[in-house]
Amino acid sequence: MTAATPVIVIRPAVVADAGLILAFIRELAEYEKLSHEVVADEAGLAAQLFSERPRAEVLIAEVDDAPAGFALFFHNFSTFVGKPGLYLEDLFVRPAFRSLGLGKRLMLRLAQIAVERDCGRFEWSVLDWNQPAIDFYRGLGAIGMDEWTMQRVSGDTLRALAAKRPD
């Protein structure tokens, strides 16, 4: 007897998923050894993701109705291309579901959304130590942008920068 083929669904998140999204974020942070950086809370996520003007969108992957993974993304804009881009902030599949191709399904759906919305680019960052993820992305045709280095200001540094006066 063969096992039944699992039913896989990729769907847009709804406000009732805010707690699940936060759980996925925490699981991803644990995997990336960055749990100490997660300060998000469920109410804040719900307000940012499901308000009249959402700041980002989320796809949820389910296997036989069980939450298995997510992708959080938003739009940016390329002045060089003159079009919006789609930026993938987080992609995560729970370990028990990693052999089912969910990451690839989420990436394919994101690529479809980018094309449907006339985006000129679909981009994301990956930690340089995460070779399995790099290999996965390269297998999809992604090209590393090694000549670009991400810069960031946040927290107190961001507030200090915002308070500075130009000389």
* Residue 1 scores a pLDDT above 70: no
137 is catalytic: yes
34 domain-assigned: yes
Number of domains in the chain: 1
Residue 30: CATH number of its domain: 3.40.630.30
**Helix ranges (DSSP H) in the chain:** 18-31, 42-49, 102-116, 131-139, 155-163
Is the distance from CB of 68 to CB of 10 less than 8 angstroms?
A: no
Provide the residue range defining the domain that includes 35. 8-163
Q: Which tens digits make up the pLDDT trace of 100-145? A: 999 999 999 999 999 999 999 999 999 999 999 999 999 999 999 9
Angstrom CA distances, 32 to 28, 127, 158, stand at: 6, 8, 24
pLDDT digits (tens, 9 = 90+) for 25-55: 999 999 999 999 999 999 999 999 999 999 9
What value does the mean pLDDT of the chain take? 95
Q: Give 50-92 pLDDT, tens digit per residue.
A: 999 999 999 999 999 999 999 999 999 999 999 999 999 999 9
CA angle 42/8/132 to nearest 5° reads: 75
Tell me if 114 is assigned to some domain.
yes
In the chain, the amino acid numbered 151 is: Q
CA distances from 100 to 8, 52, 71 (A): 9, 35, 16
1 is a domain residue: no
Q: Which of 73, 92, 97, 137 is catalytic?
A: 137
Is residue 3 one of the residues assigned to a domain?
Answer: no
| Beta strand pairing call for 83-93 and 121-124 | parallel
Phi-psi region of 124 (alpha: psi -120 to 50; beta: other; left: phi over 0): beta
| pTM as predicted | 0.93
Report helix, strand or coil for 122.
strand
